[in-house]
Amino acid sequence: MSIQFKTIKDLSTMLKNKDISNKELVQDTYSLIKSNVHLNAFVTLNEEMSLKKAEELDKNKFSGNLAGIPIAQKDLFCTKDLRTTCGSKMLSNFIPPYSATVIENLENAGCISIGKTNMDEFAMGSSNETSFYGNVANPWGSNLVPGGSSGGSAAAVAAGIVSAATGTDTGGSIRQPASLCGITGLKPTYGRISRWGMIAFASSLDQAGPMARTAEDCAIMLNEMCSHDLKDTTSLDEEIPDFTSDLSTSIKGLKIGIVKEFDLSMLDNSVAQVFEESKKHYESLGAEFVEISLPNISLSVPTYYVVAPAECSSNLSRFDGVKFGKRCENPQNLEDLYIRTRSEGFGDEVKRRILIGSYVLSAGFYDAYYKKAQQVRRLIKNDFDNAFKKVDTIMTPTTRGAAFSSGSKGDDPIQMYLEDLFTIPANLAGLPALSIPNGMVDGKPIGLQLIGNFLQESKLLQIAHNFQISTDWHLKTPSEDIN
Amino acid sequence: MSWETVIGLEIHVQLSTESKLFSGGSTGFGAEPNTHVDLIDMGLPGVLPVANKDAFYKAIRFGLATNAEINQTSSFDRKNYFYPDLPKGYQITQMGMPIVGKGSLKIMVEDQEKIINITRAHLEEDAGKSIHDLFEGETGVDLNRAGTPLLEIVSEPEISNAKEAVAYFKAVKQLVTFLDICDGIMAQGSMRCDVNISMKKAEDKELGTRAEIKNLNSFKFIEKAINFEIERQIRVIESGESVVQETRLYDSIKNETRSMRSKEEANDYRYFPCPDLLPVVITDEELNEIKENLPELPGQKEKRYISEANLDESEAKIISSSKTMANMFEDACSKTNDSKLVANWLVGDISALLNKDNIDIEDSKLTSNNFATLIERISDKTISGKIGKSVLEEIWESGNDVDNIIKEKGLVQIQDESILENIANKIINDNPGQVEAYRGGKDKLFGFFVGQVMKETQGKANPQSVNEILRKLLD
């Protein structure tokens, strides 16, 4: 029985019924990885350890909720004794002595970390074209980008190699690739999932989350990923519900907000049309639509491109060639060590953002840029607070269009930055948001974004699950000839 | 022309917490390089800091003792710069919202009281150490110290000369050791200071351009560096040039300060709020608990010594001025009823030895235990006070144990009256002329007989008994 395109739920049932052994499941997963090697979705595989763990599971029954499920881990999470590159040449030799809390949580639930997925370097990019380990191809068309930065994770799920993967989302890095690859991806409330062991890009925005074929699988993953972690002071000390329990509850009477300020006429006709059809579908499920205003939303992208680079310029200072990671050959003196290590170790996009970040934090510019951006961020958060007095969720397209071809935006960082137009606001406000497949444009999937109020992941997953049990967009798979 | 010197001090006090400011790593001194370093201290990718509440509690003690504002909500910022012993490429410090706000401290300079205002005191992590002299052509990095909590105490520019600066530094040292928040061991770098110094004419309202002398770690160097710098700045100004705003280093061997970097070369530290740490909130309950459990301070001790231990004011002042001496006093008093005796030793012989060697008591070989034993042996009459002095001198040189010294040198006091009486009789028989003269009215000769008995017993005779026996035999 093929394991391709199966959900976590499917695979768990197969394992329980002994239709397949844990070892066979892992072996089949590696076969799929190898037959899809052209996707370049993985940077490092964990084959030996995974087979060993599967054999143990075959011998000793384990009742964890993810027992035996192969999961692809974004290569931004530190994995003990398993190389973690963060998509960068800088960390091409970095083998962490510890694992991220998310990884530990998932592995404690019995999952098998099958390998580390490719990503934009240090999660900076929206097309997976900034990875030192090469572009990732979108399973829906090998000339198409999978989105980024969690492009490898999205591609691995979309190609049916794994049922689920981990991602991280700083400005849309889970939702945008989920949209472009036709899968479901959730960015939880900031603080829901511990950041311990996540290599930081922009600490006040970074949040890990699940990427899977269905909202239900995202809920199953989220149940295991969340924890209140004393090692991360920004980790929330809030009750963690069973995210699967309300999935099937009807959404009759649900109030969905449509953002007045998002002019959908700027989108491709067909994207706007898909969005309208989803609205109609939700209406048929009993939801009602309310126009809401987010007056400062147009400032999201510029605000983000001050805050995120500022934090990254500081977070990436530790990569200096002194303690770990790459060091340039034969440094002549300290300055030479720093300059060459960082010039050789970082790619162009990372350097660009470090420069922007250093600039906006520097004496004389701090007030005009960083401080102002933080003030605007507060205004955007207030806009959402006001909106959520009127609605249960806010609905937008996830992206402006479907997957674009690789190289098409390479020369224009601003165009690339606008990829995250719809996704960035949720990061700035720290709110949960997810993307589900809601249609096709020119044979390519696109996604619908739902933004929820603080800690309302259960509600988002319920709204998404209601959509998925009454539509089949999430069941579409890339056509045979591409695969 | 007469110049006024304006000095401000930034004192870094290493807080005596068990673990580091943001990790569980040990703060122990003197370990093998890079053995007190955990993932967080190393700044590994993906690690996050968690603030150590104990460091806040200790900082608050300082704030309370200096009548300072305590900011119950305080936060951390990042100070960004590259250096090999700074693992993350930034130092976490409190720029915007320090835990301790404006306060003040009283100092004494040549019997004159002066109040020095304190601008702020904030928490920050220490860097590691770069070791330049161990590896040929290479630099070693020891991260043991990285992440150790520091309280940086910033004074207002209200200090007028080197003597005041030293007095202020000593006052801070006294306070932090009494508060039990720092061990005060200068040789291990537990206290270091940066000195900001500028000159102005008496009539000028505005301050002159300042230079900062970095990283001074002894009273002597603070005084010498300031005095050198004052002369240098006056020389510069009087030769028609102007003082450059810069950072200078003091070279203790050449006794001079040298330019390290100018303002133009200064780092732009790109401070911004640390996104990994939420503001730390101290509750009213926590604050009250710290207030109620504040250790006794010198002034309080002084009063108690006067009222409870019957000391006079000057004795009480001297003993309560040093944490170590106060501890010694209290330890020794538990071994005797005679607190005056203890005080006499500390204020008399011991203070004289300290002055002679120009050291603080914690830098001497006399331990509190050994001193208490010395007092005990004197008050139980094992040795006489006079022998006690020679025992003290011996301890001062060797640090040897009191009981060992008494045993090895056979210094036990002769208490047996029959032995003393025999000796006294012998002295009387050997000196018939003096006996006759004494009995004839030369009372002063009594001292001669006491001296002879003491000489015969090598000072070990109990003087009181000798007096009594001689009176009995002679009168």
Record: contact A318-B89, CB cut-off 8 A: yes
Spot the catalytic one: A6, A23, A53, A74: A74
Under the banding of pLDDT at 50, 70 and 90, the label for residue A411 is confident
| pLDDT of B466 | 86
Contacts of A78 in chain B (CB under 8 A): 44-46
B218 vs B416 pLDDT, higher one: B218
Q: Which of B34, B41, B131, B270 to mutate to test the interface with A (most CBs of A within 10 A)?
A: B270
CA distance A179 to A173: 10
pLDDT in tens, A284-305: 999 999 999 999 999 999 999 9
3-state secondary structure of B132: strand
Interface check A204 vs B, CB under 8 A? yes
- Is A149 designated active site? yes
Q: Does position B419 have pLDDT exceeding 50, yes or no?
A: yes
Under the banding of pLDDT at 50, 70 and 90, the label for residue A481 is very low
3-state secondary structure of B237: helix
Contacts of A84 in chain B (CB under 8 A): 45
Record: contact B44-A97, CB cut-off 8 A: yes
Q: Which of residues 216-255 of A touch B (CB under 8 A)?
A: 230-234
Tell me the nearest-neighbour CA distance from A386 into chain B, angstroms.
25
Which whole number is the average pLDDT over A92-101?
97
Q: Does position B396 have pLDDT exceeding 60, yes or no?
A: yes
CA distance B174 to B180: 10
Interface check A467 vs B, CB under 8 A? no
Spot the catalytic one: A150, A173, A179, A406: A173
Contacts of A98 in chain B (CB under 8 A): 39, 44
Task: Tell me the percentage of chain A whose pLDDT exceeds 90.
Answer: 93
Q: Does position A253 have pLDDT exceeding 90, yes or no?
A: yes
- Is A194 designated active site? no
- Is A270 designated active site? no
Is domain B417-474 given the CATH code 1.10.10.410 in the classification? Answer: yes
Record: contact A77-B89, CB cut-off 8 A: no
Tell me the nearest-neighbour CA distance from A238 into chain B, angstroms.
16
Record: contact B45-A86, CB cut-off 8 A: yes
Tell me the nearest-neighbour CA distance from A480 into chain B, angstroms.
40
Contacts of A322 in chain B (CB under 8 A): 84, 87, 141
**Nearest CB to B272; choose among A97, A310, A325:** A310
3-state secondary structure of B338: coil
Record: contact A320-B82, CB cut-off 8 A: yes
Under the banding of pLDDT at 50, 70 and 90, the label for residue A483 is very low
CA distance A433 to A384: 13
Please give the radius of gyration of chain B, using alpha carbons only, rounded to the nearest integer: 29
> Which of A209-218, A442-451, B348-357 is the least confident region?
B348-357
| pLDDT of B443 | 84
Which whole number is the average pLDDT over A27-53?
98
How many CB pairs below 8 A link A and B? 100
Tell me the nearest-neighbour CA distance from A435 into chain B, angstroms.
26
Q: Is the dihedral of CA B443, B447, B450, B451 positive or negative?
A: negative
Which whole number is the average pLDDT over A120-131?
96
Record: contact B48-A232, CB cut-off 8 A: yes
> Which of A51-65, A90-104, A385-399, B64-78 is the least confident region?
A51-65
| pLDDT of A245 | 97
Angle between helices B298-308 and B323-333 in degrees, nearest 10: 30
Contacts of B278 in chain A (CB under 8 A): 233-234
**Beta carbons of A420 and A301 less than 8 angstroms apart:** yes
Interface check A198 vs B, CB under 8 A? yes
> Which of B299-308, B333-342, B464-473 is the least confident region?
B464-473
**H or E stretch at B249:** strand B246-251
Give residue A3's identity as a one-letter amino acid code.
I
Interface check A428 vs B, CB under 8 A? no
State the average pLDDT for chain A: 96
Q: Does position A480 have pLDDT exceeding 60, yes or no?
A: no
Nearest-by-CA chain B residue for A197: B46
Domain edges within chain B: 3-286, 296-408, 417-474
Which whole number is the average pLDDT over A394-406?
95
Record: contact A317-B90, CB cut-off 8 A: yes
> Which of B308-312, B398-402, B434-438 is the least confident region?
B434-438
Q: Which two tokens stand for residue A230?
A: 């004393």
**Nearest CB to B268; choose among A77, A196, A363:** A363
**Beta carbons of B365 and B395 less than 8 angstroms apart:** yes
Q: How far is CA A111 from the centre of its chain?
A: 19
Which stretches within A346-456 are classed as H helix? 348-361, 372-387, 413-417, 424-429
CA distance A463 to A253: 12
ipTM over 0.85? The verdict is yes
Spot the catalytic one: A50, A127, A149, A194: A149
Ramachandran bin of A317, using left for φ above 0, alpha for ψ from -120 to 50, beta for the remaining angles: alpha
| pLDDT of A103 | 98
Contacts of B75 in chain A (CB under 8 A): none
Tell me the nearest-neighbour CA distance from A363 into chain B, angstroms.
7
State the average pLDDT for chain B: 92
Q: Which of B92, B272, B280, B281 to mutate to test the interface with A (most CBs of A within 10 A)?
A: B272
Nearest CA to B84 among B138, B128, B19?
B128
Q: Does position A479 have pLDDT exceeding 80, yes or no?
A: no
- Count of C-beta atoms within a 10 Å radius of residue B256: 15
pLDDT in tens, B196-249: 999 998 888 888 999 999 999 889 999 999 999 999 999 999 999 999 999 999
What pTM was computed for the model? Answer: 0.89
Record: contact A323-B278, CB cut-off 8 A: no
| pLDDT of B386 | 86
CA distance A259 to A421: 13
Angle between helices B368-379 and B323-333 in degrees, nearest 10: 40
**Beta carbons of B139 and B132 less than 8 angstroms apart:** yes
Give the B-side interface with A, CB within 8 Å: 39, 42-51, 78, 80, 82, 84, 87-90, 139, 141, 268, 270-272, 275-278
Tell me the nearest-neighbour CA distance from A165 into chain B, angstroms.
19
Record: contact B46-A233, CB cut-off 8 A: no
Record: contact B39-A234, CB cut-off 8 A: no
Tell me the nearest-neighbour CA distance from A315 into chain B, angstroms.
8
Interface check A318 vs B, CB under 8 A? yes
3-state secondary structure of B21: coil
Angle between helices B313-320 and B323-333 in degrees, nearest 10: 120
Q: Does position B74 have pLDDT exceeding 60, yes or no?
A: yes
Torsions phi, psi for A183 (to 5 deg): -125, 180
Contacts of B139 in chain A (CB under 8 A): 334
3-state secondary structure of A202: coil
Contacts of A202 in chain B (CB under 8 A): 275
Task: Tell me the percentage of chain B whose pLDDT exceeds 90.
Answer: 68
Contacts of B84 in chain A (CB under 8 A): 320, 322, 334
Give the E-state strand segments of A188-265 in sequence order.
Answer: 207-212, 255-259
- CB within 8 Å of B103: residues ≥ 6 apart: B63, B66, B67, B68, B69, B117, B118, B121
Contacts of A94 in chain B (CB under 8 A): 45
pLDDT in tens, A330-359: 999 999 999 999 999 999 999 999 999 999
**Nearest CB to A195; choose among B48, B268, B272:** B48
Contacts of A370 in chain B (CB under 8 A): 272
Interface check A368 vs B, CB under 8 A? no
Q: Does position A100 have pLDDT exceeding 50, yes or no?
A: yes
Ramachandran bin of A333, using left for φ above 0, alpha for ψ from -120 to 50, beta for the remaining angles: beta
Record: contact B44-A96, CB cut-off 8 A: yes
A58 vs B364 pLDDT, higher one: A58
What are the CA-CA distances from residue A453 to residues A234, A267, A457 (Å)? Answer: 18, 26, 8
